[in-house]
Structure formats: structure tokens, C-alpha cells
Amino acid sequence: MESSVVAEQLVKTFVVTSGWGRGRTRREVVAVDGISLDIPAGQAVAFIGPNGAGKSTTIKMLTGILHPTSGSARVLGYTPWRERRELVRHIGAVFGQRSQLWYHLPPRDTFELLARIYELDRPTYLRRRDMLIERFGIGPFLTTPVRKLSLGQRMRAEVAASLLHGPKVLFLDEPTIGLDVVARQELRDLISSWNRDEGMTVFLTSHDAGDVERVARRAIVINHGRVVFDDKVSALRREYLAAKILSVKFQAPVAPIELPGVTTLKATEYALKLEVDTRVTPIERVMSAVLRAGPVADIAIEDPPLEEVIAHIYSRGAPQAPEEVTTP
């Protein structure tokens, strides 16, 4: 499968000066310390990391806004910082904090302007626009000024706008920030289905675990300018915490279960919620213990929530050997 985004040992060093005259200090800050990526076309990738980890800097280099200090990259075959004018025809960007939509005008007007900016020929533009309006459910508020829209409606229109020119790679930066639960889910589904149906590569930055789980298949975690994890999202959970959450409901009251590596998260008369460190005690042993403890009405084994996993990775901080998995 062809790669849509490839980066090879990208490094970006900033020189930060402060003070004036004799008191002037010069500091070299390494924002990105050798990041390598290989993202096949059509993959949905979550790019995760704490603030200051080097996420925005990396994205700026991949979109051609910033020149790297060293290293190389090719996005859709273009070297971003050298061939930006050509590259940007084929990529789209949605920044949660900054809007492309004109605030006082309806989304339709912004769409028209974008058609003009990208010089799309009229029939293609209209066809695409109508499809996006339908898929994203924008019809009802197409002619309402953006300032009167809810945040959820705005973001849907925002994402639709970014897709008008048919980009092959879409960069999303915190797209669901500030959205309510329903709107968030809607947006995730739209992006996800677009990714699947159109084969468009999605490069998502988010602090929201739900975004990562629902939209992305692959997660790249960076910290201190380096990749600390690069694998499937499911592996993210399994690999890093080696923990399972075991929830069980009994038909009769039972005694508490004591095993090494098992923490009782919640215990009522008839139910137990256990966290199992499977490195200490394999899950089968815990399950047998549970089944022996009393008549089981219901049992479930889950992976721990992603927030916890990510928090765990951040706190660990130290760079691990990146595992490169190229299947979506």
C-alpha cells in the first residue's frame, strides 16, 4: 500500500532569545527530536501528546509551514516545505481554535469563496458541495449566519468546508473541543465514515480519548519531541497498561477476592469491580477465583479507559522503541 505521509528523522530546533543587550540569553530548544512516520494512504491516525510535546511543530513541518532543521518528509509525494503550493491543493486542515467559516455569513458563502480560492470548476464544485451538504446534514442551516449556529453545527460545516476541494489527507486539530456528547459523536462518525468511504488519510490531534478510539485505528504518541508509541489504538491500551477491568455481578453476597496484582475498585454486596495487573496474575486465575467465589450472574472483562492509558504514557515519559505497524 502506498504511503501518503512519510517522515524520516525530522528534527526541529528553535533558538529562543530573551532579554536585551548584555542580559540577552540564547537557548536552543529541541521541539522535535527525530520523528519518523510512515502512514499509508487511507489510514486514520491519532497524533497524541501533551502540550509542548512537539505535535504542532511536526504538523507544521508536514504541511510545509515550517522548515525542519534536519530530516526529510514526503506528503503525497511532495516535500512539504519546498512544494507547499502544490501540496496544499491536496490536503485539508481543520483547526478547532480557528475557523475558516466567515462568522457573519452563512456557510454557503464560505463554500462559494473556497470554490473560488481552489479554482474548482463549477459542476465539480456543485456536485461535491451538494454531496457534503447531504452527508453532513448541513441543509437545514446552510443559509443561516455562522454566528447563529451551535458549536456542533459549526464544526460540521467547518469539516465539510475543509473537504470541498477533495483533499487526500485531512489534518484535524482538536476538532471536538467544546462540543457536547451528541455533537461530538456525530462529528466523529462523519469523519470516520469519510475516512472509510473516500479512502482519505486522516491525521487527528486530540486530547479526547473518544476521538482517538472512535476515529483512529492507529495511535502515535509523542512526548519530548520523540515518538514513544506507534501502534494500533487497541494495542495502545493492551500494551501499555497490561491491565484489565473485571466487572462481576453475583447472585448472592460473596467474600472479597484477594489475589496479588488485583485491586478492588468497587465492592458492593452483590457486585465487584476489579483491576487486574495481568503481568502479576494472569486473567485466567482471577476468573477462576471469581467463579469459585459464588454464583455469577454477569461478568465482563474490559480494557481500561484510554484517558488512563494516555496519562500513564505521559507520566512514564521515557521514549520507548517505536513499533512501526503499517497495516491500518
Partner 1 sequence: MLKPALRYLKLAAAYTRLNLRAQLEYRAAFVSQVAAMFLNDAVWVVFWVLFFTRFPVLRGWTVEDVITVWALAAAGFGLANAIWGNAMPLPGLIAQGQLDVWMLYPREVLSHLLLGRMSVTSWGDALFGYVVYIAFVRPDAAHLALFVALTLSVALLFIGFSVLSGSLSFFLGHGGDLADQWRNAMIAFSTYPAVLFDGAVKVLLYTLIPAGFVTYVPIVALQRLSLADAALALAGSVAVLAVGVAVFYLGLRRYESGNLTEMRG
Which of residues 8 and 112 has its CB atom nearest to partner 1 in the complex? Answer: 112
Restricted to residues 9-38, the positions that interact with partner 1 (CB under 8 A) are: 12, 14-17, 29, 31
Asked if 102 touches partner 1 (CB under 8 A), the answer is: yes
Return the axis-axis angle of helices 151-163 and 107-117, rounded to nearest 10°: 20
State the minimum distance, in angstroms, from the CB of residue 8 to partner 1: 19
Chain-centroid distance, C-alpha 201: 12
State the minimum distance, in angstroms, from the CB of residue 268 to partner 1: 47
Distance CA 171, CA 192 (A): 13
What mask, x for binding partner 1 by CB under 8 A, covers residues 138 to 157? -------x------------
What mask, x for binding partner 1 by CB under 8 A, covers residues 61 to 100? --xxxxx-------------x--xxx-xx-x-x-x--x-x
Asked if 122 touches partner 1 (CB under 8 A), the answer is: no
Which of residues 117 and 280 has its CB atom nearest to partner 1 in the complex? Answer: 117
Binding residues for partner 1, total number by CB under 8 A: 41
> Looking at this protein, which amino acid is placed at residue 183?
A
CA–CA distances in Å: residue 93 to residues 151, 170, 171, 237: 18, 6, 5, 28
Asked if 256 touches partner 1 (CB under 8 A), the answer is: no
DSSP character string of 6-50 = EEEEEEEEEEEEES-GGG-EEEEEEEEEEEEEEEETT-EEEEE--
- 3-class SS letters over 86-129: HHCCCEEEEECCECCCCCCCCHHHHHHHHHHHCCCCHHHHHHHH
Distance CA 38, CA 326 (A): 7
State the minimum distance, in angstroms, from the CB of residue 41 to partner 1: 20
State the minimum distance, in angstroms, from the CB of residue 24 to partner 1: 11
Do 229 and 63 meet the contact criterion of CB atoms below 8 Å apart?
Answer: no
Distance CA 214, CA 298 (A): 26
Helix (H) or strand (E) holding 275: strand 271-277
Which of residues 147 and 292 has its CB atom nearest to partner 1 in the complex? Answer: 147
Q: Which stretch binds partner 1 (CB under 8 A): 56-64, 124-132, 200-208, 270-278?
A: 56-64
Which positions ≥6 away from 42 have C-beta within 8 Å?
Answer: 1, 4, 195, 199, 200, 201, 328
State the minimum distance, in angstroms, from the CB of residue 284 to partner 1: 46
Asked if 117 touches partner 1 (CB under 8 A), the answer is: yes
Asked if 296 touches partner 1 (CB under 8 A), the answer is: no
Distance CA 306, CA 190 (A): 21
State the minimum distance, in angstroms, from the CB of residue 278 to partner 1: 37
Q: Which residues of the shown chain bind partner 1 in the complex (CB under 8 A)? A: 12, 14-17, 29, 31, 52, 54-57, 60, 63-67, 81, 84-86, 88-89, 91, 93, 95, 98, 100, 102-105, 109, 112-113, 116-119, 145
